[in-house]
Structure 1
């Protein structure tokens, strides 16, 4: 990213306003960027970021849609575990962003979202526009899926709420928070900079230590187990935590199940990894769970559903559930999933728990995995062959074999058996709420967070996902964020074709009609042109394996030279049998 990018001319500050104090508080909270789409409800704060702060610390990430702003903060948090700031314009911007906020809630990532409203005092409202951009309780739009919200009525209260929102968002279990500023508070002149709340004096609360008694209880069960299974879910991107997971599994000979909804949690080519990571548990993993005498869930998404699918019950399997999820359960959002049977349920961070269980087992603090993990061999495909999702995976894997790549996202059609995850940043997971359109923005945010980490950011997105969020690419190109987006373009909302096929078969109706209202064709959409129009380096459409090999090499070189790259790959429609069954099974 160029150092002089979006650097404003120097401004001589002669008079202070409430928004200057709000901007200074944002700086003190340590966020390096603020993602936004401009709006008049925060015009005062916008001016303060530009002219009082000089558009640095935080620097604006201009987005072309509010949903992209939240998605970028989401992608950032998936890498760093830290909140990025977002500003949304009034009720209309909040409504635009609501799906992305729900994704972040379901994915348990932190972010601090700032909103703004027209004057709360009706006498100060401009005709027409301030009325339709003012809501009596703006946060009611998203309250079921944010951790905390506030609409402070004074500058002092606004500054305190900003700090509280940051602390609450960073406190486990992490989730978005929302603070809505009155435009009048922003634009009110102030005589001097007020005393700002000190973040150093308000540290985020620590979770209670995973007790020796709890660690001993889990260790005791594992020590007696003959067929233990670990379900590794939402865990950290920290290498030491990764090493402890591997060491613990090896110590007890535990089979490990991972999924593709969450980030890489365990090496997928390790002998103890069972099945393949997928959106729905694979048959091999189901069998291992069904045969287990002890199952330990480490913040697994929907453990109750997984155990029921595998047929695991408490009468023959000891089930331990370690999670923080119960602390966010509410009556509106059902992302708490089905009620989980367990013999022992512990509210704790999963990596803290694993650290304590390792200690109870006598494993050294620096313990790392010992078993050999063989290199993946990628099958070669004929150069003139059309591209399937599996041959795309093979060809992309072969192209990246000598690169230190991070897979930022994978499509719903991805075959988990093609995954080779060897470290915590190898794959960052899905979007939490399974909403379409989040992929481009999240990829931009993750790629931004990976700058300087010696990683090549690569996202594989579906065409529907890309097209809904395509203008997020402009933000990446503008800020010179190196990354590769491979669009697995099957010219259809194919997930719903699978559902329509299921319905047609159930009702004895023509399967041939499943594409109606689903196919993205006639006219064909030039995805490369859309990307190139926004300043990205674009390739495609790519139709065969030989062209794909050559194009991926060009894309890698372009990204390594600092470019934002989009590749339109035309893939044949299709899902793996496991995915198709999981998506449509009643």
Structure 2
């Protein structure tokens, strides 16, 4: 127990006793006032009822625990180095809530209260895509979990890590009467099990520590995704068990799975020999970090081949000559798919290579795995982790003659890219003077105002025609963080808040062009 925690618990005890003493006064006043009033024709709230709404809360003298289990839970949470916890407060985690504030000092993590659980989880979603690491979202029982489920699903489909902690009144003998029975469940994690990477319901503090470390490791190992730990209210509020304090396991992160080296060499051979290769990339999985974006760009430059992304997050600078599909009638004969679900569909007569970790983690119910891959060479492994060895193998196999062929190919692709950019500028002029203002003009007018700033587009550009990506110079990983992942509306506004929170420490300007329909789903950000 940290120094000063006895004083804190003593304060709570005194506050509870004081509240109990105050209860009598409003009740006595209510009785006297009710006796002197003439009953009106219409029934209106009496003084006692009004006092219940506006007066001091009815005091509850609870047991006083000076070293509760929630303090140990706070130590576990601090060991995971979260910056923030987003939550809509609820009774099922009131013990942990109190420990966050008083035992943990409300720092690392700092508690951020939200108006809705969907907003709380979506904030964590946006934050992780900027910072590259998760924060924690704290949910109340069945109702909080259901409210947050849409945002959890979006993060799952987007392969974004979020550490979920869900409160539960597990013990029926200790469960408070009334509504808490509706908010409790035998298997709380079942509601989100189909779209979380892992969940657990630990029955002891030692198990909670072990499960939390395990969950963090699983969450951050590609393919990433949200995890959930359910914590019982009694385990939070009861005193620490007698005996030695439970041990918090050391957090050691495993290396991401890499593709088989023999298969990587074969992939390099096919790429070097191809006449018109193209890289096709699922951006949120294959270039999830700045290093991933750098590696994709390096491979494209080595091969002088076009890179076509799915428009979600950055994978290559938007004005890079190799960005896009290549020149008109580019005769694709080989496609390299990086984390593309189902391997995608290669053009007729073209061969394909797939590097993906998605087959390493598939669930039966959610059909996000897409059609079965038809790749000619399938490599199981994290694409970002496999790219360094693929790049080195391509370098080793390139000859002087092939390099000259690549350079000529790259020149033609670059010329086509420049024409596509000119075409985008021309198309942006259509309806320039229309009212309401066109989306293209909105993006075009905004660009001169931000181009000299350190900026970050933190909202999905799919709602605005993709115009920022066509007109702005996006060359940093944080310049665009993509969209919902699972197509669930209500993501944009709260995710933008979370991303802006992450950008704040870097002094970046965060930009979200918010659409009204999406805003109406989750307005209370």
Fold agreement, TM-score > 0.5: yes
Match of 2:223 among 138, 157, 173: 173
* Structure 1 pair 268–18 and aligned structure 2 pair: CA distance change class (3 A): same
Q: Is the 8 A contact 2:292 2:315 kept in 1?
A: no
Partner of 2:273: 224
* Structure 1 pair 192–51 and aligned structure 2 pair: CA distance change class (3 A): farther
Q: How far is the alpha carbon of 1:153 from its aligned partner?
A: 1.5
Partner of 1:203: 252
Q: Is the 8 A contact 2:260 2:379 kept in 1?
A: no
Partner of 2:479: 426
Q: Is the 8 A contact 2:460 2:492 kept in 1?
A: no
Are 1:450 and 2:503 counterparts?
yes
Question: What is the alpha-carbon distance in structure 2 between the residues aligned to residue 445 and residue 11 of structure 1?
Answer: 35
**1:42-61 alignment to 2 at 5 Å?**
42-61=93-112
Question: What is the alpha-carbon distance in structure 2 between the residues aligned to residue 428 and residue 286 of structure 1?
Answer: 29
Are 1:153 and 2:203 counterparts?
yes
Question: What is the alpha-carbon distance in structure 2 between the residues aligned to residue 175 and residue 237 of structure 1?
Answer: 13
User: Residues 410-463 of structure 1: CA distance to partner in whole angstroms, max 9, x if unpaired?
Assistant: 343433334542121111011111111111111111111112324211112221
Q: How far is the alpha carbon of 1:197 from its aligned partner?
A: 4.1
Any gaps of 5 or more consecutive residues in structure 2? 11-65, 397-406
Q: What is the TM-score normalised by the length of structure 2?
A: 0.78
Tell me the secondary structure at the aligned position of residue 243 of structure 1: helix
Tell me the secondary structure at the aligned position of residue 484 of structure 2: coil
Question: What is the alpha-carbon distance in structure 2 between the residues aligned to residue 160 and residue 23 of structure 1?
Answer: 14
Q: Is the 8 A contact 1:16 1:191 kept in 2?
A: no
User: Residues 136-184 of structure 1: CA distance to partner in whole angstroms, max 9, x if unpaired?
Assistant: 1111111100111111122221222111111111111111111111111
Match of 1:89 among 140, 143, 147: 140
Are 1:235 and 2:292 counterparts?
no
Question: What is the alpha-carbon distance in structure 2 between the residues aligned to residue 419 and residue 402 of structure 1?
Answer: 12
User: Residues 516-541 of structure 1: CA distance to partner in whole angstroms, max 9, x if unpaired?
Assistant: xxxxxxxxxxxxxxxxxxxxxxxxxx
Question: What is the alpha-carbon distance in structure 1 between the residues aligned to residue 5 and residue 447 of structure 2?
Answer: 46
User: Residues 261-314 of structure 1: CA distance to partner in whole angstroms, max 9, x if unpaired?
Assistant: x21111222222225xxxxxxxx89965xx31110011124543xx2xxx625x
Structure having the larger proportion of residues in helix = 2
Q: Over aligned residue pairs, what C-alpha RMSD do you find?
A: 2.8
Are 1:335 and 2:368 counterparts?
yes
* Structure 1 pair 395–247 and aligned structure 2 pair: CA distance change class (3 A): same
* Structure 1 pair 287–450 and aligned structure 2 pair: CA distance change class (3 A): farther
Partner of 2:354: 321
- How many residues align structurally? 440
Q: How far is the alpha carbon of 1:395 from its aligned partner?
A: 1.4
Q: Is the 8 A contact 1:112 1:178 kept in 2?
A: yes
**1:533-552 alignment to 2 at 5 Å?**
none
Q: How far is the alpha carbon of 1:362 from its aligned partner?
A: 2.6
Q: Is the 8 A contact 1:13 1:52 kept in 2?
A: no
* Structure 1 pair 11–418 and aligned structure 2 pair: CA distance change class (3 A): farther
Partner of 1:545: none
Larger Rg: 2
Q: What is the TM-score normalised by the length of structure 1?
A: 0.70
Tell me the secondary structure at the aligned position of residue 180 of structure 1: strand
Tell me the secondary structure at the aligned position of residue 61 of structure 1: strand
Partner of 1:345: 378
* Structure 1 pair 470–450 and aligned structure 2 pair: CA distance change class (3 A): same
Any gaps of 5 or more consecutive residues in structure 1? 1-7, 276-283, 364-368, 473-586
Q: Is the 8 A contact 2:337 2:353 kept in 1?
A: yes
Are 1:251 and 2:302 counterparts?
yes
* Structure 1 pair 440–172 and aligned structure 2 pair: CA distance change class (3 A): same
Tell me the secondary structure at the aligned position of residue 396 of structure 1: helix
Partner of 1:312: 347
**1:87-486 alignment to 2 at 5 Å?**
87-118=138-169, 120-190=170-240, 195-199=245-249, 201-233=250-282, 234-260=285-311, 262-275=312-325, 288=330, 291-301=331-341, 303-304=343-344, 307=345, 312-313=347-348, 316-362=349-395, 386-416=436-466, 417-418=470-471, 420-472=473-525
